Chain A
């Protein structure tokens, strides 16, 4: 595949990443139902949704870890649907997986070295990651398994950054972390974007997603229930799309979101923005 220069691509108006009619299953269970969207260069595209909405499956399918039933994933204008995950990673589609998934027996530095071993050249180096996360340099020889959850997340993010991705896929960065740590990690997003990355993130915490995203996309039980710019959607619309309440959001949808029944016993756990 020819990979055009990023700057040419930025001017062309073509999406960097395009997902078209993506359908995916976990065994018999349908996890994604005809998901389509485009991510342009420099965007922060946020996929929101409750537990089990298919967010992680979507990212794993884009990264190549999960084989879709039908539909396509296009990256830089080339169809990468059947491409192995390691080849996608080398071309710049890099996922920070849910649960961090560090190499536990390797040191912090070795984790970063593995991340850089097949990466592209670019602004992010191991040195720069050390500068970004002040504590990391001193503890670079520590085993990753000995780090706290927040520290592990930082290393996982660093491991992805040193590959200098074109699209950085972030799966639930905030999961299981203290709010302070979450703020710290999300606080780095502007710095990451300044180095020319495009970010596609999955987040259960809607208010967090709304703060950082240039575009939000809500999933419910594997289907798209809402998409738009944060400024263009109301809290009510999001609430309806997130929980499947019969609301005004349904009118904007390709699918009949109104037919989705209310989840029994669910309570809104996010703050409206």
Chain B
């Protein structure tokens, strides 16, 4: 029964990892940008949420409604300025620029908010509430909610990309930027919209992790970015649903590792990540750039 529990917990944690990963995957799939500041931006979103809650005293969950559009707008702005100017030089430069952004954000957070960890909505009953399946399986409502949010986000992204006018343009620009220009599409604007979508998911990721665990200035790189990378690679680069599959595989591997020995939790996840890189470098979902 302990193993069943480990697998169930792992699958549910996979939803959280999919939230971490889908924005990273989207930005890579569309503009070939590997955003190394991805995790730090999620932490920023969490801190913004904490700030909004502290200042306005609005209900914790309501702050999501503010944080997501704020981060989406930030994503559009960053893409149109910093990231686009890096892209205009070369894709490699975007690695350096987003790495620099990551360092700046991390140190900025340390400077202004200290290294203390902070949780979002620590007093909410949702954080601690759980229900039992049998005698040994305890499932946290929060994880179920996060998993459901991840599925809704992926469904929404898929619908947007496949059925909306801008979704179509995003896919067109990802296929052939020049040909899209010849059709009158300003690819910079389209990139901005893709970045806005990605940053919207980043905001949800930061918020969800802030409730699930604790946020600190370094959480962005040492947890969120790394797990996002692992989920994207396991699932398959550029594949949207692959991020959920990758997240679930990563989550299950971690929980099984923890079941063997609690100190193996993170290690087990990375072993699976390495195994996929070696045995199936294109990821578990092999279709290329499906986004």
Quick one: CB contact mask for A64-94 with B, threshold 8 Å, 1 for yes?
Answer: 1100000000000000000011110110001
Looking at the assembled complex, report how far the CB atom of A157 sits from the nearest CB atom of chain B, in whole angstroms: 13
- B185: chain A residues at CB < 8 Å are 86, 114, 117-118
A103 to B185, CA, bound (A): 13
Q: Which of A94-127 contact B (CB under 8 A)?
A: 94-95, 97, 101-106, 110-111, 113-115, 117-119
User: Which of B37-45, B165-173, B254-262 makes up part of the contact surface?
Assistant: B165-173
* Main SS class of interface, B: helix
A223 is an interface residue with CB less than 8 A from chain B:
no
A240 is an interface residue with CB less than 8 A from chain B:
no
A74 to B45, CA, bound (A): 48
Tell whether, in the assembled complex, residue B179 and residue A101 are in contact, meaning their CB atoms are under 8 Å apart.
yes
- B174: chain A residues at CB < 8 Å are 105
Q: When A105-B171, A110-B168 are in contact, do A117 and B178 touch as well, CB less than 8 Å?
A: no
B181 is an interface residue with CB less than 8 A from chain A:
yes
B58 is an interface residue with CB less than 8 A from chain A:
no
Tell whether, in the assembled complex, residue B165 and residue A117 are in contact, meaning their CB atoms are under 8 Å apart.
yes
Looking at the assembled complex, report how far the CB atom of A204 sits from the nearest CB atom of chain B, in whole angstroms: 21
- B178: chain A residues at CB < 8 Å are 65, 85, 97, 101
Tell whether, in the assembled complex, residue B183 and residue A115 are in contact, meaning their CB atoms are under 8 Å apart.
yes
Tell whether, in the assembled complex, residue A65 and residue B181 are in contact, meaning their CB atoms are under 8 Å apart.
yes
Tell whether, in the assembled complex, residue B184 and residue A106 are in contact, meaning their CB atoms are under 8 Å apart.
no
- B168: chain A residues at CB < 8 Å are 106, 110, 113-114, 117
Tell whether, in the assembled complex, residue B184 and residue A97 are in contact, meaning their CB atoms are under 8 Å apart.
no
Quick one: CB contact mask for B28-55 with A, threshold 8 Å, 1 for yes?
Answer: 0000000000000000000000000000
Contact of A94 among B175, B176, B180, B182 (CB under 8 A): B182
B222 is an interface residue with CB less than 8 A from chain A:
no
Q: Which of B186-211 contact A (CB under 8 A)?
A: 186-187
Q: When A97-B178, A117-B165 are in contact, do A106 and B183 touch as well, CB less than 8 Å?
A: no
- B186: chain A residues at CB < 8 Å are 84, 86
Looking at the assembled complex, report how far the CB atom of A47 sits from the nearest CB atom of chain B, in whole angstroms: 18
Q: When A105-B171, A105-B289, A114-B168 are in contact, do A119 and B176 touch as well, CB less than 8 Å?
A: no
A163 is an interface residue with CB less than 8 A from chain B:
yes
A86 to B172, CA, bound (A): 14
Which of B168, B172, B178, B184 has the most A CB atoms < 10 Å from its CB?
B184
- B165: chain A residues at CB < 8 Å are 113, 117
Tell whether, in the assembled complex, residue B175 and residue A63 are in contact, meaning their CB atoms are under 8 Å apart.
no
On chain B, the number of residues with a Cβ less than 8 Å from chain A's Cβ atoms is: 20
- B172: chain A residues at CB < 8 Å are 103, 106, 110-111, 114
Quick one: CB contact mask for A150-178 with B, threshold 8 Å, 1 for yes?
Answer: 00000000011001000000000000000
- B187: chain A residues at CB < 8 Å are 86
Which of B175, B186, B289, B290 has the most A CB atoms < 10 Å from its CB?
B175
Q: When A101-B176, A117-B165 are in contact, do A106 and B181 touch as well, CB less than 8 Å?
A: no
Closest to B184 in A: A118
- A103: chain B residues at CB < 8 Å are 171-172, 175-176, 179-180
Tell whether, in the assembled complex, residue A105 and residue B175 are in contact, meaning their CB atoms are under 8 Å apart.
yes
Tell whether, in the assembled complex, residue B175 and residue A90 are in contact, meaning their CB atoms are under 8 Å apart.
no
- A85: chain B residues at CB < 8 Å are 178, 181-182
- A110: chain B residues at CB < 8 Å are 168, 171-172
Closest to B287 in A: A105
Tell whether, in the assembled complex, residue A86 and residue B179 are in contact, meaning their CB atoms are under 8 Å apart.
no
Tell whether, in the assembled complex, residue A106 and residue B182 are in contact, meaning their CB atoms are under 8 Å apart.
no
Q: When A86-B186, A101-B176, A103-B175 are in contact, do A114 and B169 touch as well, CB less than 8 Å?
A: yes
A64 to B181, CA, bound (A): 9
Which of B174, B182, B184 has the most A CB atoms < 10 Å from its CB?
B182
- B175: chain A residues at CB < 8 Å are 103-106
A17 to B30, CA, bound (A): 35
Tell whether, in the assembled complex, residue B181 and residue A84 are in contact, meaning their CB atoms are under 8 Å apart.
yes
The 25 listed contacts between A and B (C-beta, < 8 Å) are: A63-B182, A65-B178, A65-B182, A86-B185, A86-B187, A87-B184, A89-B181, A89-B184, A95-B182, A101-B178, A103-B171, A103-B172, A103-B175, A103-B176, A104-B176, A106-B171, A110-B171, A113-B165, A113-B168, A114-B183, A117-B184, A119-B183, A160-B182, A163-B183, A163-B184
Given A114-B169, A115-B183, A118-B185, 11 additional A-B pairs, CB 8 A: A64-B181, A86-B185, A89-B181, A89-B183, A101-B178, A102-B179, A110-B172, A111-B172, A113-B168, A114-B183, A117-B169
Interface, chain B (partner A; CB < 8 A) = 165, 168-169, 171-172, 174-176, 178-187, 289-290
8 A-B pairs with least C-beta separation: A118-B184, A89-B184, A101-B179, A103-B175, A85-B181, A90-B184, A103-B172, A86-B181
